[in-house]
């Protein structure tokens, strides 16, 4: 009579998992160290009795909103200036200490988690596409060849949009969508709405792309219905807070706070080219109505790899086929549309850039980085293949 093998010890299973995902764990450990370093040396962080970013306009209102939510109170109208989704993440940590935990930054835990989530997503998506080394290259390029960590270590609501985009990219890895995949897609769109309203449009393009590529819109699939339900449930707290403060659940705080109103006139097609030159090349040598910034860094100064993104996107779209091509085209369209939209915004010229205006683009930097890294990989692959045939 055969004797059953003894069950594998829990420690053995855990160690096997560590070995299986060792590369990912090493990347995450390095990413956590990098984030903590950037956070610790940031001179806008509250420290030594200084209010730091609590005295800034947007960050100050993030904290006030988070403080109200921490006590399970609706946000007062006087404090309800920005969308509440991002402050919700800091609410549990706003109850501790004078200005929140740790060290006056209740957003630290959420920002760190989203940063690690981003690095993990870049690695996993890259590994699925071209293998282990490409995944590592995508993760390292995001960490070392972009200024993304700097703009995640400081409280900014675009960090929540970054999380939503990464969630849609991870769901895209599923060969077949189940109901919970659809729920995640819907929640990602609603969370982007709760954090930055209009950015829900770009995340919706990405989510629909995943549904199309993975056949989640067919009547046989329940993913599309779960997406609707997930979006509704995720948006409910924000809609309630809007209704309680303004009497209109589908309003936007920008419309209600009159001294901070953002309107259609703030977006002009004529801004696109000059803001591209100021934002990518130089906000000093390309001025904005005579204003030149000596302190703002253009994107290419710390992300020169982005120059390869358009070529990489085209090469990648031609290289892949079927559902993967749909995903490449859809996510590329999302990145281009969002980038052009914010180039048209009045606050992304030289003046806005020296006040942190680059953060409007940051959620799409991982897509730029992915496309650029893919372009390098495919060019090297073609050159190597040509050389081997000689």
- Pick the most confident of 2-11, 94-103, 167-176, 281-290: 167-176
Give per-residue pLDDT as tens, 302-355. Answer: 999 999 999 999 999 999 999 999 999 999 999 999 999 999 998 898 888 888
∠ CA 84-90-91 to the nearest 5 degrees? 80
Nearest Cα residue to 82 out of 68, 61, 103: 61
Token duo for residue 267: 């977006």
Give per-residue pLDDT as tens, 178-230. Answer: 999 999 999 999 999 999 999 999 999 999 999 999 999 988 889 999 999 99
Average pLDDT over residues 261-274: 78
Residue 24's pLDDT band (cuts 50, 70, 90) = very high
Residue 261's pLDDT band (cuts 50, 70, 90) = low
Nearest Cα residue to 52 out of 122, 181, 155: 155
- Evaluated on CA atoms 203, 207, 208, 213, the torsion sign reads positive
- The crossing angle, in degrees rounded to 10, of helices 132-144 and 365-388 is 130
**pLDDT, mean over the chain:** 91
Place of tokens 């010890």: 9
- Positions of E strands within the chain: none
Which residue did the predictor score with more confidence, 3 or 284?
284
Average pLDDT over residues 174-180: 95
Ramachandran angles phi, psi of 308, nearest 5°: -85, -5
Residue 359's pLDDT band (cuts 50, 70, 90) = very high
% of the chain residues with pLDDT over 90: 76
User: Using CA atoms, how far apart are residues 213 and 225, in angstroms rounded to an integer?
Assistant: 16
Nearest Cα residue to 111 out of 66, 163, 146: 163
The domain ranges of the chain are 23-41+53-377
Give per-residue pLDDT as tens, 124-137. Answer: 999 999 999 999 99
User: Using CA atoms, how far apart are residues 172 and 367, in angstroms rounded to an integer?
Assistant: 14
Q: Is the pLDDT of residue 389 over 90?
A: no
Token duo for residue 28: 């995450």
Which residue did the predictor score with more confidence, 259 or 97?
97
Token duo for residue 97: 């200490």
CB 125 within 8 A of CB 141: no
Could you give the C-alpha distances from 338 to 60, 298, 347, in angstroms and in order? Answer: 26, 18, 15
Q: Is the pLDDT of residue 19 over 80?
A: no
CB 162 within 8 A of CB 200: no
């Amino acid at each position: 009579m055969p004797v059953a093998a003894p069950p594998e010890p829990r420690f053995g299973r855990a160690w096997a998992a560590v070995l299986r995902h060792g590369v990912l764990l090493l990347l995450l450990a390095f990413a956590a160290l990098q984030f903590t370093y950037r956070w610790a040396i940031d001179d806008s962080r509250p420290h030594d009795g200084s209010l730091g970013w609590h005295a800034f306009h947007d960050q100050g209102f993030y904290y006030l909103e988070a403080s109200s939510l921490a006590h399970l109170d609706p946000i007062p109208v006087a404090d309800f200036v920005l969308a509440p989704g991002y402050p919700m993440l800091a609410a549990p940590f706003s109850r501790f200490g004078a200005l929140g935990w740790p060290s006056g930054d209740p957003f630290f835990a959420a920002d760190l988690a989203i940063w690690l989530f981003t690095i993990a997503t870049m690695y996993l998506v890259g590994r699925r596409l071209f293998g282990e080394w490409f995944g590592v290259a995508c993760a390292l390029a995001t960490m070392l060849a972009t200024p993304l960590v700097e703009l995640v270590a400081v409280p900014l609501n675009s960090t929540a949009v970054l999380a939503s985009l990464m969630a849609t990219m991870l769901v895209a890895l599923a060969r077949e969508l189940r109901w919970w995949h659809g729920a995640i897609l819907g929640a990602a769109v609603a969370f982007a709405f709760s954090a930055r309203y209009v950015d829900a449009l770009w995340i919706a393009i990405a989510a629909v792309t995943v549904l199309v590529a993975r056949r989640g819109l067919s009547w046989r699939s329940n993913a599309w219905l779960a997406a609707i339900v997930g979006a509704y449930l995720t948006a409910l707290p924000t809609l309630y807070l809007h209704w309680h403060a303004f009497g209109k659940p589908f309003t936007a705080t920008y419309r209600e706070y009159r001294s901070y109103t953002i309107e259609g006139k703030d977006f002009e097609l004529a801004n696109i080219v000059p803001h591209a030159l100021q934002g990518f090349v130089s906000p000093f040598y390309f001025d904005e109505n005579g204003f030149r910034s000596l302190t703002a860094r253009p994107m290419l100064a710390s992300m020169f790899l982005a120059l390869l993104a358009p070529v990489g996107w085209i090469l990648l779209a031609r290289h892949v086929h079927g559902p993967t091509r749909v995903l490449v085209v859809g996510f590329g369209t999302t990145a281009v549309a969002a980038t052009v939209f914010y180039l048209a915004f009045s606050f992304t010229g030289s003046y806005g850039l020296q006040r942190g205006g680059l953060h409007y683009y940051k959620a799409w930097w991982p897509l730029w980085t992915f496309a650029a890294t893919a372009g390098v990989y495919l060019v090297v692959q073609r050159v190597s293949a040509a050389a081997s045939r000689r």
